[in-house]
Structure 1
């Protein structure tokens, strides 16, 4: 093993130690599903020396930050929740945003995370200090923390994607991204331009269309939209889930295996998606009678290549007399209008950006600095990659939750999050038992894993479906977002932390204390 106390050259950007710096063994960044799951499982394992740093003033992550009208989940509530914290009181099959946010707040309180949460702590930079075997963190307000373990629960869909449209910054009206919805701005009677037709837009467009005077929906590529099998959860069902918890477990299990079958079309046999496409075409034909509008809304790629969306009211909203779907393409923006490539001019009072997130570029430069002063973005110059989506070579003791190639096109991300959390817990357990201060995945292990991932992805619908999507890294053309298989395969791959896959350094006699014995609940 390498000697942790051997002399090393520290990076110039190393955050210096100050006498009043805070310290913890484990620093968790973010308090969405990922950060809370990590914290709860640590508590259940008997580990108390951890802090959860949150930039905002409350927990919730994406379900706190996204609060646009109509915001809801597109995975059934009974599956889109922690396996260890079932909620028998979901009001709908697909929960709306306020209900999911309340669920996360309740989970944090129920499992006793209050004393571990640090609100108003936005991470500015985390630097690996090789001489001490710790991460040194600096927050946006100057506060500093040192921690042996750094767990990122920041997620991949947190940085809004702002389109590069000439003149957008000169618009004299109101402009905002769907994630920063302006509830204080009255839309009634306004001429509204919505740019983008992704997962957010199909939810908020039906909500605002009846309010506005005019809504121009600027569409670059139409999405495939399926009916959403949503409904109220009856009072009888909620009573049954409370009185007989195993019934909710059965519903969850049924949903899980039903959604797993989608992998057959997405990954194993993409030609099967043609049958699903016919269902989407029938939905479009039923909802949109006008052949000209229907032609605009019909994609020219195989369903599944881009994210499949679900809605029962999106198409109906586009048939309203005050709504126009614009496909000409935006040339530039003027102070009071959007100018099309054909020279036509469309006045607007407000521009709403439904343009999604920077999924393949989730971090700004300078936030995470690893061994030898290397920025994680330099390690990802050819596209983000990690071992099991969790560890990155050259960044010791850094664990990513929802890292590269852990995204899903068919099921619940909470399942993937819990799988990664269990992997991290096993890593910490083995590090304690073997008195290891730090681990760093071997480059050959990471490279071999990602070669296998990319080989599988080359034959999926996301590569063969004839589209360009946000799943793909624009620099390398690689799919750095999605997991190419069943979620149970990921669960199995992350079941045990293999110490042999990692370089490791022995525990120091001084410094951050080793972890206490972990309870068997961590392996449940």
Structure 2
């Protein structure tokens, strides 16, 4: 480092990468805190993230809408308790317009690399088009439900019919009268299958692992109910509180504290009863019965999915797939299933190269984030910051999300980032970096709670869950939601180092 190096001025104070609710929320919260010099960059030609990319039949939120919105921007015009996807996209657009995010947005911009300069404390982001954007700070808000994960099946490229991933649905394709195969029975498939079964000639569902499917407490919200939510003081808060409690009891509590109170077993009994009430054929019911503990992978809520297997034109196939042929799918028992169309409901990249991180990130001293995670396991201080990667924050980093509402996560992580940036501004610091000590202590604390998590109690061996990363860890935050909220506003600010560029670093303020 050269003491004569002049401090450069970046294009923006903050660049937010990702235009889903994570990016939108981070932008709004940063701006409300006074950090208005930001740019939000988005790969697609519209904002909304998962609700921009996912438009398949039946797409909708899988927790009550009262929880699936920002606490500071609660609306009352949801048509149902569980809102359909187009309403979530409309809500995203509403937030973007109301809070002026659109005037700080650059669409059709894919970030393919980020490099930190130790001399200037500036990030240089390279786009797929070859140009660069510089930033003092970067917020990674790319989410996990946007990059489709195609299945590793031999012959997939040889199929002569139509192939579609649920996350890239082509609405110009006519399903009527078609023989269709759908690969996968995860959350997307649970919504797609009952939506298209009445339309197609025949639907063959290829299931590797049965999903826990619980009753969905959904209902139309009639006009008088929506009017009451708008006009009766405190009613929206009550609805949100009840909704939050419901969400907490359906994932964070059984997933993280099953060793203290075996809540998961209660949910399993409910799931088995729901299955018995919904599916008439005993053989089909047996195939749809999960053989792993509730919580090992993402459960689903539906009042229509299981019933779809009662239809004469729906077949459940549990033999493994050997290959895709030009005309369909061949299973390991040698059976050929000829179809006109393949629907891939095979999920998204999560804890994998290409998504964690979503682009190459080179931090201080050339530290490569992907390599560091490979060598040290996925970890980040409260899911936000990684040592050696200064001025870089993530919304959905390892051990950040506890499994409740993504909106709680977005607000929690954004509040964390705002606290750090405010303190940096007070210190006239241009570089903030979580300390090795703070990160190590946090990582040790989350691993120390693992004994009570359902993931590590021996019941997840047959789950094939994307929750488990390549290290055998499950990088969920083992905390109740209230604790995550409290921690984001109370963590020790000295968990970070604050300093100036190279020539002033030896006398960095605050240390």
2:24 matched to 1:31?
A: no
**Which string of whole-angstrom CA distances, capped at 9 and with x for unpartnered residues, describes residues 448-499 of structure 1?**
211221231343112223344434444211112x221201111111114533
CA contact (8 A) 1:126 1:369 kept: yes
Is this contact kept in 2: 1:27–1:149, CA < 8 A? yes
CA offset at residue 325 of structure 1? Answer: 0.6
Q: 1:7–1:131: 8 Å Cα contact kept in structure 2?
A: no
Q: Quote the residue 2:181 is aligned against.
A: 193
Who is 1:494 aligned against? 488
> 268, 273, 278: which is aligned to 1:282?
273
Q: Specify which of 219, 227, 234 is matched with residue 222 of structure 2.
A: 234
List per-residue Cα deviations over 1:5-56 (Å, max 9, x = no partner). Answer: 6599xxxxxxxx9xxx970111111121111111112222233211111111
Cα deviation per residue 1:418-437 (whole Å; 9 max; x = unaligned)?
Answer: 01101111111100001111
How far is 1:289 from its partner?
Answer: 1.4
Runs of 5+ unmatched residues, structure 2: 505-511
Counterpart of 1:267 (choices 233, 256, 265) is 256
Deviation at 1:509, TM superposition (A): 9.4
Provide the rounded CA distance (Å) in 2 between the counterparts of 1:473 and 1:261: 22
1:302 to 288, 293, 317: 293
For residues 5 and 504 of structure 1, the distance between their equivalents in structure 2, rounded to whole angstroms, comes to 19
- Structure 1 residues 313, 7: closer, same or farther in 2, change over 3 A? farther
Q: Is the counterpart of residue 441 in structure 1 residue 429 in structure 2?
A: no
- Which of these residues, 281, 306, 321, is aligned with residue 315 of structure 1? 306
Q: Alpha carbons of 1:112 and 1:174: their partners in 2 closer, same or farther (altered >3 Å)?
A: same
Deviates more, 1:184-193 or 1:444-453: 444-453
Task: Specify whether residues 63 and 462 from structure 1 end up closer, same or farther in structure 2 by C-alpha distance, changes over 3 A only.
Answer: same
Of residues 65-74 and 38-47 in structure 1, the stretch that sits farther from structure 2 once superposed is 38-47
Of the structure 1 ranges 256-265 and 100-109, higher mean CA displacement relative to structure 2 is found in 256-265
Are positions 1:216 and 2:204 aligned together? yes
Alignment correspondent of 1:356: 347
Cα offset, 1:279, TM superposition: 1.1
Give the direction of change, closer, same or farther, for the CA distance of 1:5–1:254 in structure 2 (3 Å limit): farther
Distance 1:492 1:250 in 2: 21
Partner of 2:452, secondary structure, is: coil
Alignment of 1:95-244 (within 5 A): 95-244=83-232
Residues of 2 paired with 1:92 and 1:5: CA distance?
61
- Going from structure 1 to structure 2, the CA distance change for 1:428 and 1:508 (only over 3 Å counts) comes to farther
Instruction: Calculate the TM-score normalised by the size of structure 2.
Output: 0.92
Distance in 2 of aligned mates of 1:186 and 1:212: 9
CA distance in 1, matches of 2:74, 2:230: 10
**1:267, 1:484 within 8 Å by CA — same for their partners in 2?**
yes
Structure 1, residues 167-191: CA drift from partner, whole Å, max 9, x if none? 1121111112110112111111111
Contact 1:427 1:497 survives alignment (8 Å): no
Match of 1:11 in 2: none
- Residues 328-371 of structure 1 show CA distances to partners (whole Å, capped at 9, x for unaligned) of 10011111121111111111211111111121122467522212
Partner of 1:247: 235
CA distance in 1, matches of 2:50, 2:38: 22
8 Å CA contact 1:213–1:322 kept in 2: the answer is: yes
Cα distance between partner residues in 1 of 2:338 and 2:415: 53
Instruction: Give the number of equivalent residue pairs.
Output: 494
Structure 1 portions without partners, runs of 5+: 9-16, 511-524
Q: TM-score, normalised by structure 1?
A: 0.90
The answer on whether the counterparts of 1:435 and 1:507 sit within 8 Å (CA) in structure 2 is no
Aligned-residue offset at 1:506? 2.0
Task: Tell me, yes or no, if structure 1 residue 372 matches structure 2 residue 365.
Answer: yes
Q: Distance in 1 between matches of 2:120 and 2:393?
A: 18
> Contact 1:360–1:470 at 8 Å: present in 2 too?
no
Q: Which residue of 1 aligns with 2:498?
A: 504
Q: Residue 53 of structure 1 corresponds to which residue in structure 2?
A: 41
Structure 2 Cα separation of the partners of residues 458 and 163 of structure 1: 32
Distance 2:473 2:366 in 1: 26
Contact 1:365-1:375 at 8 Å conserved across structures: no
Rate the CA distance shift 1:363–1:484 in 2: closer, same or farther, 3 A: closer
Give SS of 2:175's match: coil
258 and 191 in structure 1: CA distance in 2 versus 1, 3 angstrom threshold: closer
Instruction: For residue 234 of structure 2, give the secondary structure of its aligned residue in structure 1.
Output: helix
The match for 2:60 among 61, 69, 72 is 72
Cα separation, 1, equivalents of 2:390 and 2:162: 44
Which residue of the partner structure matches residue 474 of structure 2?
A: 479
Change (3 A) 1:344 1:279: same
Q: CA RMSD of the aligned region, Å?
A: 2.1
Contact 2:166 2:343 in 1 (8 A): yes
How many angstroms apart in 2 are the aligned matches of 1:154 and 1:383?
A: 20
- Aligned equivalents of 1:217, 1:269: Cα separation in 2: 32
Q: Distance in 2 between matches of 1:356 and 1:280?
A: 22
Partner Cα distance (1:206, 1:264) in 2? 29
Matched, 1:425 2:413: no
